[in-house]
A and B are shown apart, each in its own frame.
Chain A
Amino acid sequence: MKIEIRNGRFIDPKHGIDRVTTLYIAAGKVAAIGAAPALWNANRTIDASGLVVCPGLIDISARLREPGFEYKATLESEMAAAVAGGVTSLACPPDTDPPLDEPGLVQMLKHRARSLNQAHVYPIGALTVGLKGEALTEMGELTDAGCVAFSQAEAPLVDTQVLYRALQYAATFGYRVWLRPQDPYIGRGGVAHDGEVATRLGLTAIPPSAETIALAMIFTLVRETGVPVHLCRLSTAEGVAMIRAARKDGLPVTCDVAVHHLHLCDVDIGWFDTQCHLVPPLRSTRDRAALRAGLADGTVDLVCSDHTPVDDDGKQVPFGESEPGATGLELLLPLTLKWAAEDAVALPAALARITSAPAAMLGLDAGHLAVGQSADVCIFDPNAHWLVEPRALKSQGKNTPFLGLEVPGRVRCTLVGGQVVYEA
């Protein structure tokens, strides 16, 4: 199959390319850019006039809800959502049921995902058995089975000795460790940011110190062990400042932000809108501004969707009993574009946050389109706006705070390994 994508604005952030040109794909790989290869004879030509052609997006946190939560979503529905959102590679956190703490589970997931022939799935293994924070998992076996990093997802790791050893052990073999910085005690039972909204609504609060205490503790361990750590889902201005300072000190830490947190804050909870029940909690406008600035200046390395399909049963309940999370795979691109437009970030720089930067975090040679590279491509119309509504979403999770809002950026075509897997 030879595919020719013509007249598109070709953006490859990693290689600094941004020009209208033609992309030639053959045998699943990028065959040439600009000038056709010798004896070129395309089976299919895609006219990308007025569209952006870029590397397929890479989302480092998307819950597929398998195994264990198939009533909320299935691999089929969520993989379809991924490519509809232009996502060609995704990493899924280990908080499935059972958690991804055994090689067999990981192999099964990889196998199921591969058979669907859509986006590439990279499981994140559980750092501790059952995510219980007590015993280390067989990280070597899990890596062989396909895990690209290890984390506790949202499960707390209370025992600092276990955490210390987990970091040392992972470092011994060069495994990546991802941690979501949140002290489990200070915001215990909390469902909202400790600010005016939580005070008004009488919601149990999570203070920003939940994040900063955990960051300080993790930084101490990183300093001591020299082990690199990736910090997931930053939520506070203080957290961003601490990471900026830590990096200046030369600590090997990286971090990400969930795309919702670039646009929403606690005020959006309004009168108990459970769509805005997210983890970490939506914080103040000041925190949101710091996250946006941090992403723009590179302190925050990348954006992820933190895709978490939640059904109506999880949301049509009182706020404190509701299930946190929002569907995000199909909103990652639009909400990143929205951020870029609002903060005057150039399109290539914005796309880097959802292509080359997450690829680096996963240790993948992906997220760029050099000749010879697997042809994972996203073609989108940056000027098309669409209404976020349940029927517009492929994901089985229809719940998102953005329901009813118009967002920019419509994916027109997604290719994985040179195959068209989505077209609209």
Chain B
Amino acid sequence: MLPDAEQTLNLLADRMRGAVAFDALFVGIHSGGAWLADRLAKLIPGDHPVGYIDVSFYRDDFRRTGLKPEVKRTELPFEVEGATIVLVDDVLNTGRSARAAINELFDYGRPGRIELAVLVDRGGRELPIEATYSGARLAVARDLSLVLSRGADGTLVLATEGPARDDMAGGSDA
């Protein structure tokens, strides 16, 4: 039984409140992380400009899977240099997406500090990366992918899909 995404988001926001710097920049990883970053920027006290990142150009599985059809534009409408950045993603699994996002951030400048906020941590790490804040910890069968979707009214919903084609190509959890 999967947790309700909206409740988990509130849980995550509770954990971030007071811990996140007032001037932290929020950077959501397309697509799920981008929706979450928009929502969190309003829920967390302070002034949090939001940027978006598409890690397609930094993925380490490019040689196996090629470029996915819809690459979104990375938009960071602020100075990265010296800033405190909260990377936001929907699901933390292998840690590879976070690694790619961190690499991409560094191509825009040298941030002062990077934190990672995720809605769900499903374990299965392949890199030494941990979330600074997470809404829930979940055990999900390895061949299923965990997908966040957004309804017409903006409501977020978690669902499993699968079996996943492979760990890295499946869903947004790579």
Direct contact of A and B (CB under 8 A): no
Report which A residues bind B (CB closer than 8 A): none
Report which B residues bind A (CB closer than 8 A): none
